[in-house]
A and B are shown apart, each in its own frame.
Chain A
Amino acid sequence: MVENVKPIASTWCPGCGDFGLLASLKKAALELGIPAHELVLVGGIGCSGGIHNFLDMNGLHALHGRLLAQAVGVKLANPKLTVIAAGGDGDGYAIGMGHFMHAFKKNASILYLVMNNETYGLTKGQASPTSQVGFEGNVENPFDAVLTALSIPVPNFVARTFSGDPKQMTAVLVEALKFNRENKGFAFVEDLSPCVTYNDTFKEWRAKVQDLAKLPGYDPTDRAATFRMCLETIREGKIPIGVMHRPAAVDPATSALELKLLPDRLGPAMAEIGLEPNRAAYAKLLGGLA
Chain B
Amino acid sequence: MPAPDSATKGPTSGTPLRDLAVMIGGQGGDGTLTVSDLLARYFRRRGLYVYSSRNVLSRIRGGHADASVRASERPIAAEKAEIDLLVAFDAEAIRFGQPELDENGLILYDSSSFQSDAPSAVGFPFATLVGGQIGQPIYKNTAAYGAISVMMGFDPAVTRGVIESRFQRRGAEALEKNLKALEIGRKLALERPELVGRWSVADGDAHERLLLTGNQAAALGFVVGGGRFFAGYPITPATEIMEYLMRYLPPLHGVVRQAEDELAAINMVLGAAYAGARAMTSTSGPGLSLMTEGIGHAGAAEIPVLVADCQRVGPSTGEPTRHEQSDLAHLANLGHGEFPRVIIAPGTVDDCFHLTVRALNIAERWRLPVILLLDQALCQNSVTTAPFDLGPVRIDRGDRLGAEALAQRARYAYYEVTPSGPSAYAPPGVPGGIAQVTGNEHDEMGHVSVNPVNRAKMMEKRMGKLVKLAPELPEPAIFGPADARIGIIGYGSTFGPIREAQERLRADGRTTRFYQARTLFPVPVDSLRTFLDSVDVAYVVEHNYTGQFARLIREHLPERHAKLRTLLKFDGMSFRAPEIAERVRGG
* A contact residues around B251 at 8 Å (CB): 281
Taking chain A's interface residues, is the majority helix, strand, or loop, or is none over half, making it mixed?
Answer: mixed
**Are A278 and B252 within 8 A (Cβ)?**
yes
The chain B residue sitting closest to A73, CB to CB, is B271
A273 interfacial by beta-carbon distance below 8 Å = yes
**Are B434 and A63 within 8 A (Cβ)?**
no
Which of B70-78, B218-226, B470-478, B495-503 is found at the contact surface with chain A? B218-226
**Are B224 and A282 within 8 A (Cβ)?**
yes
Which of A18-26, A76-84, A218-226 is found at the contact surface with chain B? A76-84
CB contact under 8 A between A274 and B226, given known A59-B436, A60-B271, A77-B271: yes
A29 interfacial by beta-carbon distance below 8 Å = no
* Complex CA–CA separation, A1 to B271 (angstroms): 28
**Are B393 and A275 within 8 A (Cβ)?**
yes
**Are A5 and B275 within 8 A (Cβ)?**
no
A250 interfacial by beta-carbon distance below 8 Å = no
**Are A269 and B275 within 8 A (Cβ)?**
yes
* Complex CA–CA separation, A174 to B393 (angstroms): 47
A194 interfacial by beta-carbon distance below 8 Å = no
B170 interfacial by beta-carbon distance below 8 Å = no
The chain B residue sitting closest to A40, CB to CB, is B428
Contact of A35 among B224, B253, B271, B431 (CB under 8 A): B431
**Are B267 and A62 within 8 A (Cβ)?**
yes
A286 interfacial by beta-carbon distance below 8 Å = yes
Contact of A73 among B267, B435, B440 (CB under 8 A): B267
**Are B264 and A52 within 8 A (Cβ)?**
no
* Complex CA–CA separation, A158 to B270 (angstroms): 27
Contact of B406 among A2, A71, A76, A262 (CB under 8 A): A2
**Are A99 and B434 within 8 A (Cβ)?**
no
**Are B446 and A5 within 8 A (Cβ)?**
yes
Q: Whole-angstrom distance from the CB of B425 to the nearest CB of chain A?
A: 11
* A contact residues around B140 at 8 Å (CB): none
Q: Which of A53, A56, A62 has the most CB of B within 10 A?
A: A62
**Which A57-81 residues have a C-beta within 8 angstroms of B?**
57-63, 66, 69-78, 80-81
**Are B272 and A275 within 8 A (Cβ)?**
no
Q: Whole-angstrom distance from the CB of A140 to the nearest CB of chain B?
A: 23
Chain B interface residue count, CB cutoff 8 Å, equals: 75
**Are B445 and A70 within 8 A (Cβ)?**
no
**Which B247-288 residues have a C-beta within 8 angstroms of A?**
248, 250-255, 257, 259-261, 263-265, 267-279
* Complex CA–CA separation, A169 to B488 (angstroms): 68
Q: Whole-angstrom distance from the CB of B289 to the nearest CB of chain A?
A: 15
* A contact residues around B267 at 8 Å (CB): 62-63, 66, 69-70, 73, 99
* Complex CA–CA separation, A72 to B261 (angstroms): 14
* Complex CA–CA separation, A264 to B447 (angstroms): 35
**Are A53 and B413 within 8 A (Cβ)?**
no
Q: Whole-angstrom distance from the CB of A23 to the nearest CB of chain B?
A: 20
**Which A251-267 residues have a C-beta within 8 angstroms of B?**
261-262, 264, 266-267
Contact of A42 among B265, B271, B431 (CB under 8 A): B271
**Which A123-174 residues have a C-beta within 8 angstroms of B?**
none
* A contact residues around B437 at 8 Å (CB): 58-61
A248 interfacial by beta-carbon distance below 8 Å = no
Contact of B438 among A4, A61, A275 (CB under 8 A): A61
Q: Whole-angstrom distance from the CB of A170 to the nearest CB of chain B?
A: 23
**Are A5 and B277 within 8 A (Cβ)?**
no
* Complex CA–CA separation, A76 to B217 (angstroms): 25
* Complex CA–CA separation, A42 to B407 (angstroms): 26
Q: Whole-angstrom distance from the CB of B426 to the nearest CB of chain A?
A: 9
Query: Chain A contact residues (Cβ within 8 angstroms of B): what range?
Result: 35 or more
**Are B429 and A78 within 8 A (Cβ)?**
yes
**Are B270 and A282 within 8 A (Cβ)?**
no
B412 interfacial by beta-carbon distance below 8 Å = yes
**Are A73 and B269 within 8 A (Cβ)?**
yes
Q: Which of A78, A101, A262 has the most CB of B within 10 A?
A: A78
* B contact residues around A182 at 8 Å (CB): none
**Are B229 and A268 within 8 A (Cβ)?**
yes
CB contact under 8 A between A78 and B410, given known A61-B436, A63-B267, A73-B267: no
**Are A285 and B223 within 8 A (Cβ)?**
yes
Q: Whole-angstrom distance from the CB of A47 to the nearest CB of chain B?
A: 13
**Which B283-308 residues have a C-beta within 8 angstroms of A?**
293-294, 297, 301
**Are B272 and A74 within 8 A (Cβ)?**
yes
Scan B560-587; emit 1 where CB is below 8 A from any A CB, else 0: 0000000000000000000000000000
B138 interfacial by beta-carbon distance below 8 Å = no
* Complex CA–CA separation, A209 to B257 (angstroms): 40
**Are B439 and A73 within 8 A (Cβ)?**
no
A270 interfacial by beta-carbon distance below 8 Å = yes
A38 interfacial by beta-carbon distance below 8 Å = yes
**Are A73 and B436 within 8 A (Cβ)?**
no
* Complex CA–CA separation, A12 to B137 (angstroms): 73
Contact of B407 among A2, A4, A281 (CB under 8 A): A2
* B contact residues around A58 at 8 Å (CB): 428, 434-437
A3 interfacial by beta-carbon distance below 8 Å = yes
* B contact residues around A4 at 8 Å (CB): 411-412, 432-435
B409 interfacial by beta-carbon distance below 8 Å = yes
* Complex CA–CA separation, A37 to B433 (angstroms): 7
Contact of B275 among A40, A56, A102, A290 (CB under 8 A): A40
B231 interfacial by beta-carbon distance below 8 Å = yes
Contact of A5 among B260, B269, B395, B436 (CB under 8 A): B436
Contact of A59 among B210, B212, B446 (CB under 8 A): B446
Task: Given A53-B447, A266-B253, A273-B397, output 18 extra A-B contacts at Cβ < 8 Å.
Answer: A2-B412, A5-B434, A5-B435, A5-B445, A53-B448, A72-B257, A73-B271, A74-B275, A76-B268, A78-B277, A81-B428, A98-B261, A99-B260, A99-B263, A268-B278, A269-B228, A269-B229, A274-B395
The 3 closest A-B pairs by CB, nearest first: A73-B271, A273-B226, A268-B228
Q: Could you list which residues of chain B lie within 8 angstroms of chain A, going by C-beta atoms?
A: 210-212, 220, 223-224, 226-229, 231, 248, 250-255, 257, 259-261, 263-265, 267-279, 293-294, 297, 301, 387-388, 390, 393-395, 397, 406-407, 409-414, 427-440, 445-448
Q: Could you list which residues of chain A lie within 8 angstroms of chain B, going by C-beta atoms?
A: 1-6, 8, 35-38, 40, 42, 50, 52-53, 56-63, 66, 69-78, 80-81, 98-99, 101-102, 261-262, 264, 266-271, 273-275, 278-279, 281-282, 285-286, 289-290
